[in-house]
Structure 1
Amino acid sequence: MEFSITQYSKFMTLLDMLLHNLRTLHMSLEDSIKWLGEVMAEIGPTRSQKNEEQNVFNIEQANAIIDYLKISLFQHYRLYEFLFFSTREEIVIGTEQVIEVVKTSVHPFPEPLIEGISFDIHSTFIEPPSTSDMEMKGLDQEQGPEHSQSESDTSDMDPLVGFTIEDVKSVLAQVTEDILKGIQTEINEKLQIQEEAFNTRIEKLKKA
């Protein structure tokens, strides 16, 4: 059966109102049937000339709508009541997501930057000097140029001062001997392993 756009709109409004009466107003089956009869009397076919503009459905269409509501909503009215009014256990389904955040900056590593720059530029122009660096700088200023002069003299001093050539030769000879002794021991062990392997193969060939 064909319906116009206006008739479809009226039918969907009628169906929505029936569900609203059931869900919100808790209307019983008898009251819903009575309400449907009253509404169909207003929008259905009538002989009154005053209600011609409100007559949306003819007799055949009105009977088809009533038959549809009878086999759909009214026939399963108890089921709809159970659906709307019964309390059901809510099952919450969720997933756990682990989000790894950026760790806080720890000296000497800088904080993550939007635009990467070299560590030298960051430490020189951006990162504030640490407390230990400030304390060392203050101590250097308090000690004055004499302390810095003594440090420079110590750094310029030859580390071999006080040793003769014979002392240096003896130390080098001892170090060389220790190194060669370790190498010789390793070579002897490898040769012994190879010799044992060859002897084993020779014995197998003799038995064969």
Structure 2
Amino acid sequence: MDQITDLLKENVDGIQEKMGTFLNFRHLQTCLKEGILLDYYVSGFLWAKGMEFSITQYSKFMTLLDMLLHNLRTLHMSLEDSIKWLGEVMAEIGPIQSQKNEEQNVFNIEQANAIIDYLKISLFQHYRLYEFLFFSTREEIVIGTEQVIEVVKTSVHPFPEPLVEGISFDIHSTFIEPPSTSDMEMKGLDQEQGPEHSQSESDTSDMDPLVGFTIEDVKSVLAQVTEDILKGIQTEINEKLQIQEEAFNTRIEKLKKA
């Protein structure tokens, strides 16, 4: 009676909080079963509040809700048996003409019919779900994922340096790979020699570099250069294919272990 009086003073959130304390539910944030049962009792209490029951009627009605779940959970009572049991109980606490049970008749005909209608849509309509709640084992689902990150190795291994392939040639040659010392020395010599030497070089550059060579000589040189280039490209392609094959084999081994 005192618990019902305390609940009647609270709003919806307060009723839910105190009801969870009365029922000793300590894992409402993580336990789905406790959350469902708390909703069952809170919904019933709010419905009774809308019916404007007296304290005694509140007590009888909440006891009725608890007994129905007790029969289902402990006695494994079927839906048909629960309906029969409810009929017998309502015959005792509902309107009866017998003077013997007059003190137990706390509900009139309209209230008794309303209680039966409420139980139809709240418990009986979802009876199979409550059976599943109490008797079906549920697997614990662990949500997670595993990620494998490959870190770029040092330049000793056959991997490009980070972001080198995304940098323009000018920035790469100026800041990342500056010109060698020999190039700097040659540039300094060119500046010391002055404009006369530059003029002689320009005169020399005006001459045809192919003077004295026949067409057959040019074809022979071009064939040799082309062959050397193709060999270099083929070697580079083979090396890249070997690297890709090793990388795929490594990933396949990781998948097999997983």
What's the CA shift string for 1:18-76, capped at 9, x where partnerless?
Answer: 00111111100000000000000011100111211111111011001000000110001
Moved segments of 4+, more than 3 Å: 91-208
Cα 1:197–1:24 change in 2 (3 A) is closer
Once residues 102 and 256 of structure 2 are traced to their aligned partners in structure 1, the CA distance between those partners, rounded to angstroms, is: 124
Contact 2:57 2:106 in 1 (8 A): yes
- Greater relative contact order (Cα 8 A, min sep 6): structure 1 or 2? 1
Residue of 187, 191, 201 corresponding to 2:241: 191
Query: Aligned-pair distance for 1:6?
Result: 0.7
Contact 1:22 1:81 in 2 (8 A): yes
What's the CA shift string for 1:133-182, capped at 9, x where partnerless?
Answer: 99999999999999999999999999999999999999999999999999
Contact 1:22 1:28 in 2 (8 A): yes
Q: How many residues align?
A: 208
Once residues 222 and 248 of structure 2 are traced to their aligned partners in structure 1, the CA distance between those partners, rounded to angstroms, is: 39
- What are the residue-to-residue correspondences of 1:110-189 with 2, within 5 Å? none
Secondary structure of residue in 2 paired with 1:106: coil
Once residues 23 and 206 of structure 1 are traced to their aligned partners in structure 2, the CA distance between those partners, rounded to angstroms, is: 46
- TM-score norm. by structure 2 comes to 0.35
Once residues 143 and 229 of structure 2 are traced to their aligned partners in structure 1, the CA distance between those partners, rounded to angstroms, is: 70
Contact 1:110 1:122 in 2 (8 A): no
Secondary structure of residue in 1 paired with 2:102: coil
What's the CA shift string for 1:94-144, capped at 9, x where partnerless?
Answer: 999999999999999999999999999999999999999999999999999
Once residues 148 and 257 of structure 2 are traced to their aligned partners in structure 1, the CA distance between those partners, rounded to angstroms, is: 68
Which shows bigger deviation, 143-152 or 47-56? 143-152
Cα 1:29–1:122 change in 2 (3 A) is same
Cα 1:202–1:27 change in 2 (3 A) is closer
Once residues 143 and 24 of structure 1 are traced to their aligned partners in structure 2, the CA distance between those partners, rounded to angstroms, is: 108
Secondary structure of residue in 2 paired with 1:89: coil
Once residues 40 and 53 of structure 1 are traced to their aligned partners in structure 2, the CA distance between those partners, rounded to angstroms, is: 14
Which shows bigger deviation, 153-162 or 184-193? 153-162
Contact 2:152 2:159 in 1 (8 A): no
Question: What is the CA RMSD across the aligned residues, in angstroms?
Answer: 19.2
Query: Aligned-pair distance for 1:196?
Result: 54
Which shows bigger deviation, 82-91 or 109-118? 109-118
- TM-score norm. by structure 1 comes to 0.44
What percentage of aligned pairs have identical amino acids?
99
Q: Which residue of the partner structure matches residue 77 of structure 2?
A: 27
Once residues 50 and 157 of structure 1 are traced to their aligned partners in structure 2, the CA distance between those partners, rounded to angstroms, is: 135
Gaps of 5+ in 1: none
Cα 1:81–1:121 change in 2 (3 A) is same
Gaps of 5+ in 2: 1-50
Once residues 38 and 197 of structure 1 are traced to their aligned partners in structure 2, the CA distance between those partners, rounded to angstroms, is: 75
Which shows bigger deviation, 119-128 or 64-73? 119-128
Cα 1:51–1:89 change in 2 (3 A) is same
